[in-house]
Amino acid sequence: MIDFLNQLPTPLISLIGFIVTISFLVTIHEYGHFWVARRFGVKIEKFSIGFGKPIIKWHGRRDNTEYCIAWIPLGGYVKMHGEHYDDIRDSQAATGCDSHSEAHHDISDITDVGDVDTTGKDVANDEGSFLGLPAWKRFLIAFAGPGVNLFFAVFALWLLFIIGIPALSPYIGSVERHSPLYGHVEAGDRIVSIDGNRIETLTDTVIHLVDNMGNPTTTITVVDSDNISKQAVVDLSHLPDGSELDIEKALGFHWEIAEVGQRQPATVDSVVIGSPSDKAGLQTDDVIIRANDKPIANWQDFVTVVQANPNTAVVLLVKRNGHRQQLILTPAPHRQHAAIGYAGVRGRFDPSIYDKYRTKKKYSAIDALPMAVRENYLQGKLIVKMLGRLVTGQASIKNMGGPISIADYSGKSLQMGYVTFFKFLAAISLTLAVMNLLPIPVLDGGHMMICTIEMIRGKALSERATGLLMRLGLSLMLAFMAIVIGVDLWKYLLN
């Protein structure tokens, strides 16, 4: 299956990954609301996967709920009876019931958005309505959606930890003189803990360093090749905005695994027949030394030159059988990105040079559960912290990603295999849960906040107050989505 996907155009793979990701995560999210609401006796009028015109729809035999799959796979929804006051009034008008005649409200009450309740009797008399439930039940229905996403994130990581998640060990490469680590750690040292938290992988390191941004003292513990422990206390409180995107660069060091690849010469492994490289005369075992009179130290240097010169002649100096030879290569425009050059040649790499850095996060079924909870807690905390830094202007908006970013990463993770894609699903599920739990009206967290206020006050917020909060929440979310999509367009189209 993975081999088949890798043969498809990149945009199509991204589209497939996006549809699978969003459809699955939204389905389980909405099913959470659906399942709990049904248990509390709420009538479910519609359960839709996707938006727009239905591709297929049917009605449940027992509950008469309309189930449908729609054309636009960007989400889904559960429509519960009596979610809004207008729904209840319409329902009661259809049955000839009018409770408003019994209610009297002084005109002066309209200024008190917290106490006016024009629908109390409507709600009480409407069987199977969402608003007719006690606040604590509505709270649980609202929590059920993100709750299922949290459960899936933990379950997915628990399962992956049992299987074993491929990862990279955090070996430090070169350390620059201006780095706070300079003089305390050396190339080849491996990070084993940050502020007492155990570090196993490069990803663990990045998560903890970013989480500690703003802290004046962070203790990084490493071990050298002789297994001797060393410590460095660094100040992360004055890092420039946007440092979370490249935390090691902000701290003035490099990962050894990146530098190992850069030390490999630009040796040709194979040439595509009929490609620009074939026409230029490149052959297997050629070592590319210079391109347009610029030194080529590694394969990435050569790739950079090729990509920057579509339809432009590039003068190559290669070493072949001990002799130097000059060739003229004219990269063709890439079939998916015309502004990028394509040469049709593959570099040679020795996979064994990376064996030192390969590791696996693998635990027993019992140990995997607390590790899965811990991992999700750390990442969830980091999401909330990054949102706070974005709001206060301490973090770059480049950290934000919308539908285009999700499509891009879902496609890439699909190409890398099932384990990587499943881990990606867990990460997006966690993000979906955290975002939905924010106390913003129109989000699940906003509904939970309103229910909490109702439980504390002992009575519901008025229809007017609720409507005002919902409009405010909707405005915030529309503004947020506009920014996210704008950043996406800038990253993928304009930049």
Token digits of residue 418: 């099932």
Beta strand ranges found along 176-237 (DSSP E)? 190-194, 197-198, 218-223, 229-234
**SS3 state of residue 363:** coil
**How far is it, in rounded angstroms, from Cα 283 to Cα 267?**
10
Residues 6 or more apart whose CB falls under 8 angstroms from that of 277 comprise 268, 271, 329, 343, 344, 345
Asked if residue 42 lies in contact with residue 90, where contact means CB atoms within 8 angstroms, the answer is no
Burial code (b: 16+ CB inside 10 Å, e: under 16) for 407-435 equals bbbbbbbbbeeeebbbbbbbbbbbbbbbb
Count of positions (residues) in the chain: 495
Q: Which helix (H) or strand (E) holds 336?
A: none
| Amino acid identity for residue 222 in this structure | V
Burial of 251 (0-12, 13-18, 19+ CB in 10 A): buried
**How far is it, in rounded angstroms, from Cα 448 to Cα 438?**
9
Number of neighbours of residue 106 by Cβ within 10 angstroms? 7
Q: Which of 416, 419, 417, 477 has its CA nearest to residue 446?
A: 477
Q: Which of 176, 6, 86, 142 has its CA nearest to residue 454?
A: 142
CA distances from 295 to 150, 289, 300, 307 (A): 51, 6, 12, 16
Q: Which helix (H) or strand (E) holds 94?
A: helix 85-94
Token digits of residue 224: 């050298």
**Side-chain half-sphere of 257: how many Cα atoms within 13 Å?**
17
Q: Which of 174, 224, 169 has its CA nearest to residue 199?
A: 169
Token digits of residue 452: 């909490």
Torsion sign over Cα 253, 256, 257, 259: positive
Helix residue ranges, H only, 111-246:
120-125, 135-163, 202-211
Token digits of residue 326: 């000059």
Interstrand relation of 197-198 and 165-168 (parallel, antiparallel or unpaired): unpaired
| Residues taking part in catalysis | 30
**How far is it, in rounded angstroms, from Cα 27 to Cα 309?**
45
Q: Which helix (H) or strand (E) holds 174?
A: strand 172-175
